[in-house]
Amino acid sequence: MFVNDVVWVLFWRLFFLRFPVVNGWSFQDITILWALFGGGYGVTFVVFGNVGRLAGMIARGELDHYLLLPKNVLLHVLVSRSSMAAWGDLLFGLIIFCFAGPVSIGKFVVFIYGVLLTALILTSFCIIVGSLAFFLGNSEGLARQLLTAFVTLATYPLAIFKGLAKFILLTVIPAGVISSMPLQLIKTIDPAFMGTATLFAVGLFLMAVYIFELGLQRYESGNLMTVQM
């Protein structure tokens, strides 16, 4: 995953060699964006490795074991798995940020905060799309496609989107909040944006938990006898 992320940044480098600035974005900005998203993606799937498998687990009735554990069910489900590949994304994010330009202690602290915000937004989105399985049945394919769309759109500058597309990226698929961070959070360290992004991330997380808990009331056991090691 580390190599894969580096290759994408190299492709962007080739693009910006021909077009140095696109709607106010430079190669440095896109590098910071990839560092933020890579770090946030890494944190999400290292700590909450099951978040991308949630829809399939619900559809197959694999939550039975977790219902027998002490609360919180959602937390037990998410942390019971960790992705080794995601360590590559996390390492990439931390390293590439150091090559994106002058780094001060203040900017690095803000960067880490941005990574955590990214992780919270991504985790919340995955919980919401995964919880669709409670209401739609087997929606594993849909959840996977929505996650792929989120990942793809979050790594493109928000400035290239206009009108309805931009509205969708700030609401339905909230990837636009992440792609706003390089200019609003890292380069200018805008307190207003930081506060707004934090409230948005926390609100999205609370919504995700509510939707999961609401769906859990509809959950039908898969009658699976499993042993967790």
pLDDT at position 228 is 47
- CA-CA distances (angstroms) from residue 71 to 67, 115, 163? 8, 27, 43
pTM of the model: 0.90
Mean of pLDDT values over 34-49: 96
More confident residue, 224 or 184: 184
Mean pLDDT of the chain: 89
pLDDT at position 222 is 53
Cβ atoms within 10 Å of 105's Cβ, excluding its own: 7
Q: What angle do CA 143, 147, 148 make, to 5 degrees?
A: 115
Report the phi/psi class of residue 36: left, alpha or beta, with left for phi > 0 and alpha for psi in -120 to 50: alpha
Secondary structure of residue 22 in the 3-state scheme: strand
Q: Where are the domains of the chain?
A: 2-7+26-216
For residues 8 and 92, the answer to whether their CB atoms sit within 8 Å is: no
